[in-house]
């Protein structure tokens, strides 16, 4: 069973971005499934690598959109992205060194951060981009 499901309330009214957010949700669910099925460190580790890479590409898409349209919250928003990237890199490093095990706590952190970010921070640029004709 998925740990999160896409909900129209998550929509920022930009098709490409919504698709990327759906992909992120799918990857969180894949990570949850792998953990629940007791998959080994390698499998779980490779899903996290994919999630981290995809997240970075997604953040870049958003930031390019901000720069292109002169979004006034660019600096603050980008700062949030960077803090998350650093946090995930820290988890990856700790996992690799065996300092932590991937726990539900880590998974919940990733899930909660992404959902909260989409619902509060990402949704803020929706009306701005719509006014610029971005769909």
Q: Which of 122, 126, 127, 135 binds Fe ion (CB under 5 A)?
A: 122
Least separation, in Å, of the C-beta of 31 and Fe ion? 18
Among residues 48 and 122, whose Cβ is nearest to Fe ion?
122
Among residues 67 and 101, whose Cβ is nearest to Fe ion?
67
Among residues 83 and 101, whose Cβ is nearest to Fe ion?
83
Least separation, in Å, of the C-beta of 78 and Fe ion? 8
Among residues 83 and 104, whose Cβ is nearest to Fe ion?
83
Q: How many angstroms separate the first and last alpha carbons of the chain?
A: 31
Taking the C-alpha atoms of residue 20 and residue 23, their distance in angstroms, rounded to an integer, is: 5
Residue 16, C-beta contacts closer than 8 angstroms, at least 6 positions apart: 61
Tokens of 41: 């460190």
**Which residues, 46 to 75, sit near Fe ion by CB under 5 A?**
62
Binding residues for Fe ion, rule CB under 5 A, total 2
Tokens of 90: 């820290």
Residue 96, C-beta contacts closer than 8 angstroms, at least 6 positions apart: 45
Task: Decide if 125 contacts 12 (C-beta within 8 A).
Answer: yes
Would you tell me which residues interact with Fe ion (CB under 5 A)?
62, 122
């Amino acid at each position: 069973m998925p740990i999160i499901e896409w909900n129209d309330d998550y929509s920022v009214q930009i098709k490409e971005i919504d698709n990327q957010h759906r992909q992120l949700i799918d990857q969180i669910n894949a990570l949850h499934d792998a953990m629940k099925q007791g998959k080994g460190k390698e499998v779980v580790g490779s899903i996290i690598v994919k999630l981290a890479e995809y997240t970075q590409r997604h953040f870049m898409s958003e930031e390019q959109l901000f720069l292109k349209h002169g979004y006034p919250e660019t600096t603050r928003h980008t700062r949030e992205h960077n803090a998350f990237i650093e946090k995930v890199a820290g988890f990856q490093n700790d996992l690799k060194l065996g300092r932590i095990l991937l726990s539900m706590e880590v998974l919940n952190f990733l899930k909660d951060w992404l959902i909260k970010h989409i619902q509060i921070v990402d949704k803020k640029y929706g009306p701005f981009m719509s006014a610029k004709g971005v769909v």
